[in-house]
Amino acid sequence: MEVLQKLEILADAAKYDVSCSSSGSNRKNTKGGIGNAHRSGICHSWSEDGRCISLLKILFTNECIYNCAYCVNRSSNDVPRASFTPEEVAELTINFYKRNYIEGLFLSAAVVKSPDYTMELLLRTAKLLRHHHQFNGYIHMKAIPGADPKLIYQAGQLVDRMSVNIELPSSNGLKLLAPQKKKESIIKPMGFIANQIIQKVEERKLYKNAGKFVPGGQSTQLIVGATADHDLSILRLTEGLYNQFGLKRVYYSAYVPVSQDERLPTLAAPPLLREHRLYQADWLLRFYGFTSKELLQEHQPNFDTTLDPKCDWALRNMQLFPVEINKAPYEMLLRIPGIGVKSAKRIAAARRFHSLSYDNLKKMGVVLKRAKHFITCGGKYYGEVGFKENLIRQALVLQEPKGKTSGIEEGQQLSMFTH
């Protein structure tokens, strides 16, 4: 089979992997070598679905021994199958890289023959790129659950980022849809990688030449909407992954129906709005100092579809508002709906020169559409509807962009899990 055909099949098979990030690593070029990593990452194109293309994202092979119900590459699916050789992947990467199509390689694989056998193939590809081609661009590699930790360790020394996909947010979900995968076999390599990263950071404090281990950090991905798990349990899981395993990112992927199976829900369209809300909440955990407990509770375990999680939180905690923009601590500025990290920093810097008026904020580029209901500037309140929870809620819901709210219905689960 021609490389072009393989590329078509194995890019198509990899497209449901969300991550395309090339950030977090600052690997330098070496003498006579090619490539380096850019700390904040670089996007090279955007595909028709609006997702950024930064890395050459392919599967090494889509010939899988597993038959997970949600997966397009399940062994019972009738799709064209192909496998690359390590040489082909390396050649393709180098040639795409030199033309500035990509920032590096994202190499994943279906499990062919056994986890060890698959991991060895991935490892050989990374070795070829790093040693033979002296490639110093970004490599993101999947750690195959169940593979020998020695292989994962060797790969980790070569690549910039590693990820193990959680796939489904609960062990029940795994049991139902991916009975050949166990929670333990996913968590174990994640813990292993997390420990090695910490250990390497310590070693590097002692010896300059201790080498690298996954310098761009670890990430994972889980599918939203293929099982009955609610948002709270997903968010708790996320929080645990950030706090206990020090993950760089958790990615969510709205379930796209790719195979017929009676265990799967019937969806009219992927639950994109739900995915969007989870990302918003994820940001609140990582950059805004929120905890999952604040955002969702047992009695209300799913996100409001009509409002973003921060607005929703603020409306449930009206006693904390309105906040005086000239006095509130930075941490509280971050919690004002509509105010992001950049705006909060600008406010904190600018108010040292003089007290800020509502017009000042406007001119500084602070978005006040939502914020105006929750702040005062020099004691004056600017929300037109009055400081009442229900009135503000109504005003905010009406403001939400049409495209997003009208997507709700198509995104909802139709059968199976509606109680």
Partner 1 sequence: MIHYIYDGSFEGLLTAIYEAYYRKEKPEKIIAKADLQESFLVTYIHIATEEEKADKVYSAIREKISSRALKNVFYLFLSEDMEAATYIYNYIKLGFSIGGKIDQYHTHDIVQHVHKISHKVGKEAHRLLGLVRFQKLQGDIYYAFIEPDHNVTALLAPHFSKRMASENWIIHDGRRNIAALYNKTCWIIKEGDLQGELLLDEEELAYQEMWQSYFKSIAIKNRKNPKLQRSYMPKRYWRHLIELKNKT
| 96 touches partner 1 by CB under 8 A | yes
Residue (81 or 393) nearer to partner 1, CB: 81
Q: How far is the CB of 361 from partner 1 (least distance, A)?
A: 9
Q: How many CB atoms lie within 10 A of CB 47?
A: 10
Q: What is the DSSP letter of 160?
A: S
Q: Which of 182, 259, 251, 183 is nearest to 226 (CA)?
A: 259
Closest to partner 1 by CB, 175 or 342: 342
Q: Report the residue number, 34 or 176, with the smaller CB distance to partner 1.
A: 34
Question: Considering only residues 44, 74, 200, 372, which one is a binding residue for partner 1 as defined by CB under 8 A?
Answer: 44
Q: Is the peptide bond before 322 cis (omega within 30 degrees of 0)?
A: yes
Least distance from partner 1 to the Cβ atom of residue 7, Å: 6
Q: Exactly one of 100, 319, 415, 418 binds partner 1 (CB under 8 A); which one? A: 100
Each residue 190-229 as x (binds partner 1 by CB under 8 A) or -, in order, gives: ----------------------------------------
State the first-to-last Cα distance of the chain, in angstroms, to the nearest integer. 49
Q: Does 167 bind partner 1 (CB under 8 A)?
A: no
Residue 397 corresponds to which tokens in the numbers above?
A: 């819901």
Least distance between partner 1 and beta carbon 102 (Å): 9
Tell whether residue 256 is a contact of partner 1 (CB under 8 A): yes
Decide: is 47 part of the binding site for partner 1 (CB under 8 A): yes
Asked if 4 interacts with partner 1 (CB under 8 A), we say: yes
Closer CB to partner 1, 29 or 75, in the complex:
29
Can residue 92 be called a binding residue for partner 1 (CB under 8 A)?
Answer: yes
Which residue, 198 or 349, is less far from partner 1 as judged by CB?
349
Among 79, 228, 269, 367, binds partner 1 (CB under 8 A): 269
The least CB distance from residue 218 to partner 1, in Å, is 23
Does residue 364 bind partner 1 (CB under 8 A)?
A: yes
Contacts of 120 (CB under 8 A, 6+ apart): 151
Cβ neighbours around 1 below 10 Å, total: 11
Other beta carbons within 10 Å of 242: 16
**Residue 406 CB burial class (10 angstroms; 0-12, 13-18, ≥19):** exposed
266 counts as binding partner 1 under rule CB under 8 A: no
Work out which of 25, 26, 39, 56 binds partner 1, going by CB under 8 A: 56
Q: Which of 1, 76, 80, 95 binds partner 1 (CB under 8 A)?
A: 95
Nearest to 98, CA basis, from 27, 39, 29: 29
By CB under 8 A, tell whether 280 contacts partner 1.
no
Burial group, residue 25, by CB count within 10 angstroms (0-12, 13-18, 19+): buried
As to burial, measured by CB atoms within 10 angstroms (0-12 exposed, 13-18 middle, 19+ buried), residue 28 is exposed
52 contacts partner 1 (rule: CB under 8 A): yes
380-381 and 375-377 beta bridge pairing: antiparallel
Interface region with partner 1, contact rule CB under 8 A, candidates 54-62, 80-88, 164-172, 328-336: 54-62
Total count of residues recorded for the chain: 419
- Short-list 164, 287, 299, CA closest to 230: 299
**Shortest spacing between CB 366 and partner 1, in angstroms:** 9
Cβ-based nearer residue to partner 1, 56 or 214: 56
Task: Write the DSSP symbol of residue 415.
Answer: S
Determine if 15 is a binding residue for partner 1 (CB under 8 A): yes
Q: Which of 176, 210, 272, 395 binds partner 1 (CB under 8 A)?
A: 272
Classify residue 35 by burial, with Cβ atoms within 10 Å: 0-12, 13-18, 19+.
Answer: buried
Query: Rounded CA gap, 85 and 24, in Å?
Result: 28
Which secondary structure element, helix H or strand E, spans residue 220, and what is its range? Answer: strand 218-224
> To the nearest whole angstrom, how small is the minimum distance from the Cβ of residue 271 to partner 1?
11
Residues that bind partner 1 (CB under 8 A): 3-4, 7-8, 11-12, 14-16, 28-29, 32-36, 38, 42-54, 56-57, 92, 95-96, 98-101, 103, 137, 254, 256, 269-270, 272, 346, 349-350, 352-354, 356, 360, 363-364
